[in-house]
């Protein structure tokens, strides 16, 4: 019996040390990316190639889901607001919830599952097939050549994608509320414009998306680079990327919101 307890305590200790070790390794890896991104900035073609894969190919899913999220918000907002005779405030509701919260968070979740998982699988497979080692042999730094361009492409495309998501969502809300249901168009836009503030709502939303972009792509490239070089290892790393990114996005969103929207509005 005491032996079993000792083993259990050892197991806990091992896990704690292991996760602290992983965190330190991830931090070192992150600073290494930043240090070596100068090289990849000089070869901007590499970043453009990755922008195509992370940005352009994610655009379709972002635009379609943005449209539907906005339409659902318009419909549900109208249902509740018309009970109080305030159905013209549906524009404000759609725009504020998209620009402040839903745009960054949902676009971030979609981006993590569409682009983040692809980045992890690609880098993990490169490692499993020893392409990264081969690059090292040829005196090409794999972090500067493979990891940094993917990181920067993700950081650049995330705010743009979230902005498209929010704009499309507002359009979807307009479509449902004004075109379909028949809320007055003038008050729909003017109430929205009088409440949504450029500095406090839109700029804060953009800051959020930039933070999410850095977090998602850092997790994705780290998991890929750190994946065990087997088929199982790569699949596990891909799953971990999506799960960890989703948790980090939601956690960071709470932290950022509590800093940004405290005591205003």
Closest separation between CB of residue 164 and another protein, Å?
4
Angle, helices 2-42 vs 44-51, to 10°: value is 120
Residue 192 as a binder of another protein (CB under 8 A): the answer is yes
Residue 95 as a binder of another protein (CB under 8 A): the answer is yes
Stretch that binds another protein, among 45-53, 108-116, 136-144, 218-226 (CB under 8 A): 45-53
Residue 60 as a binder of another protein (CB under 8 A): the answer is no
Residue 64 as a binder of another protein (CB under 8 A): the answer is no
Q: Is the Cβ of residue 37 or residue 209 nearer to another protein in the bound state? A: 209
CB of 100 within 8 A of CB of 203?
A: no
Long-range contacts of 36-42 (CB under 8 A, 24+ apart): 36/141, 36/143, 36/144, 36/148, 37/144, 37/148, 37/151, 37/152, 39/141, 39/144, 39/148, 40/144, 40/145, 40/148, 40/149, 40/152, 41/152
Residue 178 as a binder of another protein (CB under 8 A): the answer is no
Residue 198 as a binder of another protein (CB under 8 A): the answer is yes
**Can you tell me the distance from the alpha carbon of 9 to that of 13, in angstroms, rounded to the nearest whole number?**
6
**Can you tell me the distance from the alpha carbon of 184 to that of 186, in angstroms, rounded to the nearest whole number?**
6
Q: Is the Cβ of residue 61 or residue 167 nearer to another protein in the bound state? A: 167
Q: Is the Cβ of residue 204 or residue 226 nearer to another protein in the bound state? A: 204
- Interface residues with another protein (CB under 8 A)? 48-49, 51-52, 55-56, 59, 95, 99, 157, 159-161, 163-164, 166-168, 170, 189, 192-194, 196-198, 200-202, 206, 263-265
């Amino acid at each position: 019996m005491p032996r079993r307890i000792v083993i259990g305590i050892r197991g806990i200790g091992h896990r704690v040390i292991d996760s602290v070790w992983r965190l330190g390794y991830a931090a070192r890896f992150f600073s290494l990316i930043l240090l070596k991104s100068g090289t990849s900035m000089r070869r901007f073609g590499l970043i453009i190639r990755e922008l195509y894969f992370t940005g352009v190919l994610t655009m379709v899913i972002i635009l379609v889901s943005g449209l539907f999220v906005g339409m659902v918000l318009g419909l549900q907002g109208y249902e509740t607001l018309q009970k109080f005779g305030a159905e013209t405030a549906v524009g404000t509701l759609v725009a504020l919830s998209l620009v402040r919260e839903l745009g960054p968070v949902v676009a971030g979740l979609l981006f993590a599952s569409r682009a983040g998982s692809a980045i992890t699988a690609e880098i993990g497979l490169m490692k499993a097939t020893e392409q990264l080692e081969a690059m090292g042999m040829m005196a090409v730094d794999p972090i500067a050549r493979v990891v940094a361009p993917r990181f920067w492409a993700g950081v650049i495309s995330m705010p743009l994608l979230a902005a498209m998501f929010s704009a499309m969502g507002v359009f979807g809300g307009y479509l449902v509320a004004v075109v379909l249901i028949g809320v007055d168009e003038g008050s729909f836009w003017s109430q929205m414009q009088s409440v949504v503030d450029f500095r406090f709502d839109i700029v804060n939303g953009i800051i959020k998306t930039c933070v999410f972009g850095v977090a998602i792509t850092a997790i994705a490239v780290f998991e890929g680079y750190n994946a065990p070089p087997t088929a199982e290892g790569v699949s596990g790393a891909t799953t971990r990327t999506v799960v960890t990114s989703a948790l980090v996005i939601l956690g960071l969103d709470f932290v950022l919101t509590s800093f940004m929207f405290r005591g205003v509005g």
